Amino acid sequence: MRLTIRRVGGQLPTFQPTRVMTDGDLDAATAEIARSFVRSPPAGGSAPQPDSFRYVFELEDDVGLTTASASFADVPEELRRLLPTPAAKRD
């Protein structure tokens, strides 16, 4: 499994910090939460806000490539520590 999370939006939309992780980077419980979230993101989600960030999740595994996006408020608490920050190294 490979999980890529990219932050988009905000006042500098061309600046998109990205974080890439594989199975070895995540414990089993977090990997399962990520799979579940990307395959079944929350319906509707929060209303878009001007200049707010969204997070694009790309999950590559034996099923193929699945993508989902969500605002910070809609990202499960268990996955928030994985979100990229401006200081995150781009992989």
Contact 71, 46 (CB under 8 A): yes
- Give residue-wise pLDDT tens across range 14-64: 677 899 999 899 999 999 999 999 999 877 666 666 567 889 999 999 989
pTM (2 decimals)? 0.83
33 φ/ψ angles, rounded to the nearest 5 degrees: -65, -40
- Tokens describing residue 42: 């929350």
